Amino acid sequence: MRLHEYYFGNLIKESQALDQESPLLLAIIKEFGSYENWEKDFKSMGAMRGIGWVILYYDVSAGRLFNIWVNEHDVGHLAGATPLLVMDVFEHAYILDYGINRKEYIEKISACWDWSVVEKRFLVVANNF
């Protein structure tokens, strides 16, 4: 239930890119080298075989971002880390609209990521540590 709340909570009709001075964007660049590298990794993880979730986590203890595959709903969560961006890649998330074309779903859903929500999630944990 909670993962679906994060998932639907980080969707909007039309995504707006992060501001160039955004602390989250700067953290993504620091961790992955560029936004494009991060996005490629996140989307590629979502296209893997299997059902589950892809989550951009912030590990406040390490001050690091991680893209993590969560199998089913329970395997792979990082203890103590905060989910920032959550993507559902169970069949029920896309099969009615995209058939078995999960990559198309990922492209369409990525155009609906609400970065203002994702950044708020990041700032709450990053600023309180």
Contact flag: residue 119 with Fe ion (CB under 5 A):
no
Using alpha carbons only, what angle is made at residue 78 by residues 38 and 53, rounded to the nearest 5 degrees? 60
114 binds Fe ion (CB under 5 A): no
Q: Any alpha helices (H) in 10-101, and if so which ranges? A: 23-32, 35-46, 91-98
Rounded distance between C-alpha atoms, residue 103 and residue 97, angstroms: 12
Q: Considering the complex, what minimum distance in angstroms separates the CB of residue 3 from Fe ion?
A: 8
Contact range with Fe ion by CB under 5 A, out of 16-24, 52-60, 87-95, 111-119? 87-95
Q: How many residues bind Fe ion (CB under 5 A)?
A: 2
The region of 30-38, 40-48, 86-94, 105-113 touching Fe ion under the rule CB under 5 A is: 86-94
Binding residues for Fe ion restricted to 20-79, rule: CB under 5 A: none
Burial (CB < 10 A; 0-12, 13-18, 19+), residue 34, is: exposed
Residues in contact with Fe ion by the rule CB under 5 A:
88, 90
